[in-house]
Amino acid sequence: MKFCILDESVAKAAEGLAVFGVETGADGIRTELIRSDEFSVKLSEGVLAIRYRKRVQIFLALKTVADEYRGGDYAFSRTAAFENLTYMLDCSRNAVMKSGEVIEFAKYLAVMGYDSLGLYMEDTFAVPEYPYFGYLRNAYTKGEIADMVAGCELYGIELVPYIQALAHFNSLTRHYAMDGLFDTADILMVGEERTYEFLEALIKTVSECFKTRSVHLGMDEAYMLGRGKYLDKHGHRARFEIMNEHLARVLKICEKYGLRPMIWSDMYFAQVVETQYGGEIAEEVAAGVPAGVELIYWDYYHTSEPYYASMIQKHRVFKNPLGFAAGAWKWLGFTPDNRYSFASNEASARACIAAGIPRYIVTGWGDNGGECSPYATLPALLHCARMNYGLFGLGEDFENSFLGLSGMPFDAFMTIDLNNRVTERDDPEEKNSANKYLLYNDVLLGTLDTTVEEGLGGLYLRHAYALQGALKQAGRFSYLFETQAWLARVLASKADLGIRLRKAYAARDNEALSKLLIELRQLPSRIEKFYRAFRAQWEKENKPLGFDVQDIRIGALKQRVYVAAEKLASFLEGRAECVPELEERLLDHMGHGEEFEVDPDQCEWRWRRMTSVNVNE
């Protein structure tokens, strides 16, 4: 649909939206833009009037009209439930999105109605005073950040730095130049001047590079705070006290640079290391939390609206402003889980809207490698964006909007979840990282074979056919479906290969073992094709450094398959008396001894735990 937009800046931005069915030109529908306290659209007598409160709503309106207009008069009026709707892009788990691709991705956010994009950067932005900060980690330069800020601003998207000011500095702990900064593990040694000089350098850098005055300081999951070198020096102190003192120091730095900080709330709400959130917080304890910082309650592990409502109410004991962070599940390996995201996010969004929470953040973490593309979660992102305007459910309107967003039918796109499906049931509670643990589960050691049912390869063969069909409709996202289709082909052979191998070996069924040897010898070729597709996906979206980890992991996978084939051939040909690994008795991965637990809700995401129990540090 073509629009005649007189505002030069908006017209320039709209030129980049052709992929969403939005075109510009003098012969298009005359479009009037009116700043207003409301968001509404009215098309009558050949004139389109867009009333908007935020710039991003202009692009949401253009895309919506392009999706829905079928002739005649047309109008709608909508009210946003959240003052701020953010997507947070993880740029710290090896996958650092190229600056140009960030701007392209921001266009998708704009036409959905997001007004903010957070860049989660633990150490992936350059800090002049600390050359080892971001060293060999694709750190964004000041120039790259400036380009991203300007590109996002064109579409009404505020680019916000999400950094760390307490923990999650794993990548820094390896550098001798950073010795002395840490208390224990990846947690900073608080209370030391050297620490606050370091943090001021980080905060000063982001204040100079980003236009926004908002900054997210992280400060999450530092449950061992004060339990290492700090304990040796200061003795035992309550974690709340240490946290409050540290936060107060960091807030002064933020104030110096005119920044408005947010932090995750779990360090104040977690009662013990083993739980994310605990019970009640005493009012006198909550009162000690420094003012001037917004707490963000993050939770994407439940599908119950009453649960979220209860936890929001418990957070009310704090007098600080409160926001919420949901999740578009992409941290389970190569494959997303949009289906679970729908269930979890609808429950949390309804609770947040009812409670009047002003800020709703959709996180896109990339734990343990950043393998999954954020584009793979477009269904979940659109779902959250529509809920912001009171549009719940996944009906015909949603499907039409998704088609306009992705150029691909919704049902076809949703096959992108399939490699995490280990049953035929359509149960969102069966969230699963099978795509990754079935890939890396060692074919000889088989530590995760206890979680797998024989015959699973047949299900993955059906997944492969479904993904191949979706690939034909994928258009600009064909590269995503190429990766998933080849992964499904690998898993069609490998998912239950260890079970079949161990079973045939125990029975000394040489005929079956000979057939399995053929499968083993064919498997590296399939893995290589998957690798090539995945590498192409990575190179399209991300900076190059960090893929070395994928080279190591997938290369090791192929090597172990070669070794398995060699050992099995030696046994079948009489050159070896046995295959030692297959002589070992397996114990349940989940700790139940010889009683195996086959759980479709299994989210093992750590590569080291998938591959071996042997020393690998």
Same domain assignment for residues 227 and 362: yes
Q: How far apart are CA 3 and CA 29, in angstroms?
A: 5
Same domain assignment for residues 371 and 443: no
**CATH code of residue 480:** 1.20.120.670
Same domain assignment for residues 35 and 127: no
Q: Is residue 562 part of a domain?
A: yes
Q: How confident is the model at residue 240 (pLDDT cuts 50, 70, 90)?
A: confident
> Which residue, of 78, 100, 124, is where some domain finishes?
78
Same domain assignment for residues 89 and 212: yes
Q: Is residue 616 part of a domain?
A: no
pTM, two decimal places: 0.97
Tell me which residue has tokens 């350098």.
201
Please, which residues bridge with residue 140 across strands? Answer: 125
**CATH code of residue 10:** 3.30.160.230
- Residue 454, number of CB atoms within 10 A of its CB: 12
Same domain assignment for residues 268 and 140: yes
| Residue 314 CB burial class (10 angstroms; 0-12, 13-18, ≥19) | middle
pLDDT at 250 over 70: yes
- Residue 70, number of CB atoms within 10 A of its CB: 5
Which pair of tokens denotes residue 34? 């009116």
Q: How confident is the model at residue 276 (pLDDT cuts 50, 70, 90)?
A: very low
- What angle do the packed helices 338-355 and 378-388 form, to 10 degrees? 20
pLDDT score, position 270: 60
pLDDT score, position 279: 62
Same domain assignment for residues 197 and 262: yes
pLDDT at 231 over 60: yes
Same domain assignment for residues 112 and 60: no
> Given the DSSP bridges, would you call strands 74-78 and 39-44 parallel, antiparallel or unpaired?
antiparallel
Q: How confident is the model at residue 321 (pLDDT cuts 50, 70, 90)?
A: very high
| Structural contact between residues 311 and 277, judged by C-beta atoms closer than 8 angstroms | yes
Residues in the chain: 617
Which pLDDT tens digit goes with each residue over 498-540?
A: 999 999 999 999 999 999 999 999 999 999 999 999 999 999 9
Q: Is residue 547 part of a domain?
A: yes
**275: CB partners within 8 A, 6+ apart:** none
Same domain assignment for residues 54 and 166: no
| Residue 394 CB burial class (10 angstroms; 0-12, 13-18, ≥19) | middle
Which pair of tokens denotes residue 114? 């997001």
| Residue 298 CB burial class (10 angstroms; 0-12, 13-18, ≥19) | buried
> Which residue, of 348, 373, 406, is where some domain finishes?
406
Q: Is residue 328 part of a domain?
A: yes
Which pLDDT tens digit goes with each residue over 135-159?
A: 999 999 999 999 999 999 999 999 9
**CATH code of residue 222:** 3.20.20.80
pLDDT score, position 527: 98
Same domain assignment for residues 339 and 435: no
- The count of structural domains within the chain is 3
pLDDT at 567 over 60: yes
> Which residue, of 78, 110, 145, is where some domain finishes?
78
Q: Is residue 185 part of a domain?
A: yes
Phi-psi category of residue 57: left, alpha or beta, with phi > 0 → left and psi -120 to 50 → alpha: alpha
Buried b (16+ CB within 10 A) or exposed e, 551-574: eebbeebeebbeebbebbbebeee
Q: Is residue 23 part of a domain?
A: yes
Q: Show the domain range for 61.
A: 2-78
| Structural contact between residues 56 and 112, judged by C-beta atoms closer than 8 angstroms | no
Same domain assignment for residues 123 and 179: yes
Same domain assignment for residues 72 and 104: no
pLDDT score, position 286: 85
- Quick one: what percent of the chain has pLDDT higher than 90? 90
Q: Is residue 285 part of a domain?
A: yes
Which pLDDT tens digit goes with each residue over 68-89?
A: 999 999 999 999 999 999 999 9
Q: Is residue 230 part of a domain?
A: yes
